[in-house]
Amino acid sequence: MDQYRARQSEGGELVRPVLLLDVDGPLNPYAAKPHRRPEGYQTHRLLTPRWDAAERRRLTEWGLPNKPVKPLRVWLNPSHGPALDALPFDLVWATTWEEEANGFIAPVLGLPELPFITWSSTRGRPGGGVFWKTPEIVAWARGRVFAWIDDEITEADRAWVKEHHDGPALLHRVDPRRGLADGDFAVLRAWAVGLH
């Protein structure tokens, strides 16, 4: 058995792979036509502190400091929580929602509070079309086996991870017009099972 298939902690127990979850795109199919919410999704109007602050700055720049901030329209499918929880992964948020995913997304999906990646304040692209999250995810993983679902993943990101990450990784792009679908769950499960 190779060194990655049955990674063990120093205590000897098996270490499950990590599933890094983006919100906008995979869980919130924001790119679907506004008047055609995908089947199984429910509409939520969320006013997170981060969204409120960003929108207030924007309204002030436009000379409308007293205009109320519109909540963010988010489509979420409540069946995704149990389906994600049933996968053979440790779940981690890899989203610009950061800790707000625990306060606003997890409860709707029925997920527990999850660890999250805190992004650096400098989000520069490393070049070659590589997504700004990619180097930060590799640095966060530190060689741990992971799968990552996001709508921004490209072949450039896959090549970058292959070159810079010491261990198996699945970078799975989800279409932001449809969000996570049965086929995506099947790919994730098959990949994780194939590690053993």
Angstrom distances, CA of residue 26 to CA of 46, 80, 84, 134, 174: 17, 10, 12, 16, 5
Give the tokens for residue 180.
């996570």
User: pLDDT by residue (tens digit) across 61-117?
Assistant: 888 888 888 999 999 999 999 999 999 999 999 999 999 999 999 999 999 999 999
Beta strands in 62-136 (DSSP E): 72-76, 90-93
Architecture of domain 18-32+77-194 in this structure: 3-Layer(aba) Sandwich (3.40)
pLDDT score recorded for residue 12: 46
Give the tokens for residue 11.
């205590």
Delimit the domains of the chain by residue range: 18-32+77-194
Q: Is the pLDDT at 6 greater than 50, yes or no? A: no
Summary count for the chain: helices (H), strands (E): 7, 6
pTM reported for the whole predicted model: 0.88
Q: Is the pLDDT at 124 greater than 80, yes or no? A: no
pLDDT score recorded for residue 122: 65
Query: In the chain, what is the straight-line distance between the N-terminal and C-terminal CA atoms, in Å?
Result: 9
Please give the average per-residue pLDDT across 138-150, as a whole number: 96
